[in-house]
């Protein structure tokens, strides 16, 4: 043979040939490649699945709704809950009697933040029509004055319509006004005689009473509903609490028939419980409440318990997965001792020999990892997205550990003499 | 022409009490078949490592074509100037026979087509058929594998071949065939072939016979029929 035919190049080992040899190894050593590949896919998939389960429990923990219902809480409780960042005031209702000025007719004043719900709660099954210029959403209730919904019958009886103002006075104030109405002499003595009488009354009433803007009229064919007032309490409670009015004891908050709260932050359930206890103790001086029901929180605690267990177990599982892969790669590397020695004897540099084997394992583990992530995404893309950061962190650590293992193994083998390595039993 | 000259070479392993090779001087020239025989522990493997550029002597020099091995790129030296064949053949198990022979050429930058053509020629030269050349080593007999190994050693263009017990795993017939091949390469094609062996019958076939003992090499002029 012609020497020149063989020695056509004296360059260093072409990188292309090393790469070609590496991929050939991956393809032809099917058994070993498959083992590393399958192991990687399984381990990364299992740990990823665990991460997704953690995310699911985290989500479950945060979305469990803890609602508290109570009867006998006072209007102060509504204020306390509204001003805290622990809970939301979902619903409340109180039921009082108000004496309307016209013919002394008592009508119910229902304090509630959700008229529609109140109507449903009393079991009225007929049609209810609420005429309003506003959407029935307390979030857009005007802040400039308390608002009121009225039954259409009471509105008609009192001659009040939408957007009118309704004044509620206590009994003593009414008597005082009656006296004023009858005593022109008194008006003259206080310098108001030259003003129209109706104007005087209006200004006195406006100053000393609780006024509501009528924002809705209710028609239901239910006698009680159609003769009732409905008012959201918390918008006006600071005014009601300060007045001596017929529908509550002097100066005391209104006692609510029913109230419902919702915990906003499940992580602060203990603070929330403490606040509820405080609200209960402030509701009545004698501490009596008709009934108190707190939502069973055991489910939340169960979920938290599982979530905490998963948080502890995850790093252990991740460590085990990495350890198993490190061992597997170490074993496959030791099976390649003679091949590495042979490559060195044939003149491949130590660095290039190491690179071939490190790259081989890196490539297979990357493909296995990508496949595992593909499976996880296919299983539940939303949960995968929620736990993506922890899964990716694990994958990076995993790939680093595998690559580092093959690097160390090849470095250790490179230190030994190639002829000695050829004698080693695989 | 490729010549290996050892000048007062000594080697001692780390922690060893005595030198494995002591003041060894020898010359290995082209067109010659050398044999080195000796008992286990005599330093034969160490000598092979030094000749193959896998290690450097602690004392003395080894020169290849006038250049000391300590002054040249040893990876390049092993890639193109020297080749080894082994008792256990050590072919790449994942490559076919022809791919094994192509390998040294490809790592020397020879284009694939050219390498394949040359490999076919080399395999034919050592008596491997085209059908056998497409098989994986596990599907070849011991003798066939060793011949493929010889073809591979020729593929790099190296003119010095070191054979470590090349017939150790072969039967008598294949031993004879392999040794004839090596002898032919030395005599007719100018190769310098160094065979390390325990087999006296193999050692006798060499043009120059050495005996290694206690880390030293001495030339043996003839072997007695039953002696060592």
- Residue B7 backbone dihedrals phi, psi, to 5 degrees: -115, 105
Q: State whether B103 and A346 contact (CB < 8 Å).
A: yes
Q: State whether A17 and B107 contact (CB < 8 Å).
A: yes
Give CA–CA dist A346/B183, Å, rounded: 23
Q: State whether B80 and A10 contact (CB < 8 Å).
A: yes
pLDDT of A73 > 90? The answer is no
Give CA–CA dist A173/A413, Å, rounded: 101
Q: How many other C-beta atoms are found inside a 10 Å radius of the C-beta of residue A80?
A: 19
How much is the mean pLDDT over chain A? Answer: 79
Contacts of A9 in chain B (CB under 8 A): 108-110
Please name which of A268, A229, A214, A206 lies closest in space to residue A61, comparing C-alpha atoms: A268
**What DSSP letter does each residue of B12-65 carry, written as one string?**
--TT-SS-SEEEEEEEE-TTEEEEEE--TTSSHHHHHHHHTTSS--SEEEEEET
Its ipTM equals 0.90
Please name which of A128, A127, A121 lies closest in space to residue A91, comparing C-alpha atoms: A121
pLDDT of residue A207: 67
By the CB < 8 Å criterion, does B118 face chain A? yes
Q: Where are the domains of chain A?
A: 13-61+302-423, 67-295
Please name which of A241, A248, A227, A259 lies closest in space to residue A118, comparing C-alpha atoms: A259
pLDDT of residue A422: 81
Q: State whether A1 and B118 contact (CB < 8 Å).
A: yes
Coil, strand or helix: which one is A98?
strand
Return the residue of A nearest to B111 by Cα: A8
Pairing of strands B192-197, B160-164: parallel
Q: State whether A347 and B76 contact (CB < 8 Å).
A: yes
Q: State whether B92 and A17 contact (CB < 8 Å).
A: no
Q: Which residues contact A39 (CB under 8 A, 6 or more apart)?
A: A324, A325, A328, A368
Coil, strand or helix: which one is B218?
strand
Coil, strand or helix: which one is A131?
strand
When computed from its CA atoms, the radius of gyration of chain A, rounded to whole angstroms, is: 40
Here the tokens at position A405 are 């293992």
What is the number of residues in chain A? 426
When computed from its CA atoms, the radius of gyration of chain B, rounded to whole angstroms, is: 17
By the CB < 8 Å criterion, does A340 face chain B? no
The arithmetic mean of pLDDT across residues B31-50, rounded, is: 88
Closest-CA distance, A326 to chain B, in angstroms, reads 24
pLDDT of A225 > 60? The answer is yes
The percent helix, strand, coil of chain A (3-state, each to 5) is 60, 15, 25
B58-98: per-residue pLDDT in tens?
A: 889 999 988 899 888 888 899 989 999 998 889 999 999 99
- B40: confidence class by pLDDT, cuts 50, 70, 90: confident
The arithmetic mean of pLDDT across residues B25-40, rounded, is: 90
Q: Which residues contact B19 (CB under 8 A, 6 or more apart)?
A: B10, B11, B12, B58, B215
Please name which of A49, A123, A153, A133 lies closest in space to residue A375, comparing C-alpha atoms: A49
The arithmetic mean of pLDDT across residues A319-336, rounded, is: 91
- A421: confidence class by pLDDT, cuts 50, 70, 90: confident
pLDDT of B16 > 90? The answer is no
Please state, for a pLDDT cut of 90, what percent of chain A lies above it: 24
- A236: confidence class by pLDDT, cuts 50, 70, 90: very low
pLDDT of residue A31: 80
Please name which of A258, A284, A277 lies closest in space to residue A69, comparing C-alpha atoms: A258
pLDDT, greater one: B87 or A186: B87
pLDDT of residue A80: 82
pLDDT of B193 > 90? The answer is yes
How much is the mean pLDDT over chain B? Answer: 89
Q: Which of A186-195, A211-220, A312-321, A322-331 has the lowest mean pLDDT?
A: A186-195
Give CA–CA dist A341/A260, Å, rounded: 77
CA B8 to chain centroid? 22
* Per-residue DSSP letter, A268: G
Out of B48, B77, B110, whose CB is closest to A9?
B110
Here the tokens at position B22 are 């002591």
Q: Which residues contact A63 (CB under 8 A, 6 or more apart)?
A: none
Q: How many other C-beta atoms are found inside a 10 Å radius of the C-beta of residue A104?
A: 8
Give CA–CA dist A238/A253, Å, rounded: 9
Cβ proximity of A33 and A367 under 8 Å: no
Q: How many other C-beta atoms are found inside a 10 Å radius of the C-beta of residue B182?
A: 23
By the CB < 8 Å criterion, does B103 face chain A? yes
Interface of B with A in 59-88 (CB under 8 A): 75-80, 84, 86, 88
Is 0.80 topped by the overall pTM?
A: no
State how far the alpha carbon of A426 is from the alpha carbons of A353, B84, B86, B215, in Å.
18, 21, 17, 30
* Per-residue DSSP letter, A426: -
**What DSSP letter does each residue of B156-181 carry, written as one string?**
T--SEEEEESTTTTS-HHHHHHHHHH
Coil, strand or helix: which one is A43?
helix
């Amino acid at each position: 043979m012609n020497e020149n035919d063989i020695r056509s190049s004296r360059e260093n080992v072409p990188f292309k040939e090393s790469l070609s040899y590496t991929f050939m190894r991956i393809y032809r050593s099917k058994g070993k490649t498959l083992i590393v590949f399958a192991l990687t896919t399984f381990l990364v998939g299992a740990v990823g699945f665990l991460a997704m389960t953690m995310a699911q429990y985290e989500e479950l923990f945060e979305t469990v709704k803890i609602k508290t219902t109570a009867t006998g809480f006072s209007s102060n409780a509504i204020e306390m809950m509204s001003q805290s960042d622990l809970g939301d005031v979902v619903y409340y209702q109180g039921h009082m009697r108000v004496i309307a000025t016209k013919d002394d007719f008592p009508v119910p004043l229902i304090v509630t933040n959700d008229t529609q719900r109140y109507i449903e709660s009393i079991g009225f099954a007929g049609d209810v029509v609420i005429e309003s210029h506003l959407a029935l959403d307390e979030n857009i209730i005007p802040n400039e004055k308390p608002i009121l919904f009225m039954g259409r019958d009471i509105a008609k009886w009192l001659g009040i319509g939408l957007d009118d103002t309704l004044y509620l006075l206590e009994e003593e104030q009414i008597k005082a006004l009656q006296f004023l109405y009858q005593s022109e002499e008194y008006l003259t003595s206080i310098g108001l005689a030259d003003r129209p009488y109706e104007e005087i009354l209006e200004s006195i009433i406006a100053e000393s009473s609780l006024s509501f803007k009528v924002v809705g009229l209710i028609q239901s064919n239910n006698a009680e509903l159609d003769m009732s007032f409905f008012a959201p309490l918390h918008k006006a409670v600071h005014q009601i609490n300060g007045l001596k009015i017929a529908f509550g004891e002097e100066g005391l908050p209104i006692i609510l028939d029913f109230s419902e709260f919702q915990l906003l932050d499940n992580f602060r359930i203990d603070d929330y419980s403490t606040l509820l206890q405080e609200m209960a103790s402030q509701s009545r001086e004698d501490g009596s409440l008709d009934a108190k029901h707190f939502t069973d929180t055991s489910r939340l605690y169960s979920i938290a318990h599982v979530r905490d267990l998963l948080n502890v177990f995850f790093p252990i599982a991740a460590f085990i997965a990495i350890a198993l892969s490190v061992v597997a790669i170490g074993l496959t590397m030791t099976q390649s001792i003679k091949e590495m020695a042979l490559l060195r004897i044939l003149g491949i540099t130590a660095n290039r020999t190491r690179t071939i084997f490190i790259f081989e394992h890196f490539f297979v583990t990357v493909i296995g990892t990508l496949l595992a992530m593909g499976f996880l995404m296919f299983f539940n893309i939303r949960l995968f997205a929620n736990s993506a950061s922890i899964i990716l962190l694990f994958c990076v650590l995993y790939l680093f550990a595998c690559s580092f293992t093959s690097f160390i193994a090849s470095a250790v083998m490179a230190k030994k003499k190639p002829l000695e390595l050829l004698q080693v039993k695989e | 022409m490729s010549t290996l000259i050892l000048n007062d070479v000594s080697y001692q392993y780390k922690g060893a009490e005595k030198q494995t090779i002591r003041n060894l001087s020898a010359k290995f020239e082209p067109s010659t078949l050398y044999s080195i025989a000796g008992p286990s522990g005599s330093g034969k493997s160490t000598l092979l490592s030094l000749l193959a550029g896998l290690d450097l002597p602690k004392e003395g020099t080894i020169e290849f074509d006038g250049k000391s091995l300590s002054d040249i790129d040893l990876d390049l030296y092993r890639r193109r100037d020297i080749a080894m064949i082994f008792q256990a053949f050590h072919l790449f198990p994942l490559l076919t026979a022809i791919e094994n022979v192509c390998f040294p050429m490809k790592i020397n930058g020879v284009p694939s087509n050219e390498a394949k053509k040359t490999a076919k020629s080399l395999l034919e030269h050592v008596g491997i058929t085209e059908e056998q050349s497409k098989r994986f080593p596990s599907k070849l007999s011991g003798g066939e594998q060793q011949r493929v190994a010889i073809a591979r050693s020729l593929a790099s263009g190296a003119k010095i071949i070191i054979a470590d017990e090349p017939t150790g795993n072969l039967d008598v017939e294949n031993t004879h065939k392999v040794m004839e091949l090596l002898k032919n390469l030395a005599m007719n094609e100018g190769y310098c072939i160094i065979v390390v062996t325990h087999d006296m019958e193999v050692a006798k076939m060499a043009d120059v016979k050495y005996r290694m003992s206690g880390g030293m090499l001495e030339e043996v002029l003839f072997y007695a029929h039953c002696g060592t």
